[in-house]
């Protein structure tokens, strides 16, 4: 719910708060710190090693969803909120927004779902 409340906040590269705006990883760091008290690494690539990977069918609201948008397996991140939707900060000139995981653009670019927890195990990618 906290991520959903930030929809409409301006995108800003390197941004990490609602007043200054967010980039994708800044949004995730901010939301996870405020809602779970968890401090995450600042970059998408570093976030890709936190928690554990889960299968597409096991995803739950609050899980992180990673995308390949630049040729790198971990180049974009959002927060899954349920019903095949996620919140993210997509690009310069945009705002934090809600999107569908099954859209023609985002669906094929999904590379992983990760759950933040102390236990660690891996499953297959979606």
Q: Which residues are catalytic?
A: 24, 76, 88
Cα 48 from Cα 113, distance rounded (Å): 9
Written as six digits, the tokens of 2 are: 């906290």
Written as six digits, the tokens of 16 are: 């990490």
Cα 109 from Cα 14, distance rounded (Å): 22
**Alpha-helix runs per DSSP H in the chain:** 2-5, 24-36, 44-47
């Amino acid at each position: 719910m906290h991520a959903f409340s930030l929809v409409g906040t301006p995108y800003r590269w390197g941004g990490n708060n609602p007043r200054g705006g967010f980039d994708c990883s800044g949004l995730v760091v901010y939301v996870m710190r405020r809602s779970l008290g968890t401090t995450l690494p600042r970059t998408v690539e570093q976030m890709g090693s936190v928690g554990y990977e889960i299968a597409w069918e096991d995803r739950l609201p609050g899980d992180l969803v990673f995308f390949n948008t630049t040729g790198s397996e971990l180049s974009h991140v959002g927060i899954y909120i349920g019903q095949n939707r996620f919140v993210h900060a997509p690009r310069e000139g945009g705002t934090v927004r809600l999107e569908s995981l099954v859209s023609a653009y985002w669906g094929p670019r999904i590379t992983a779902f990760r759950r933040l927890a102390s236990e660690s195990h891996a499953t297959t990618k979606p």
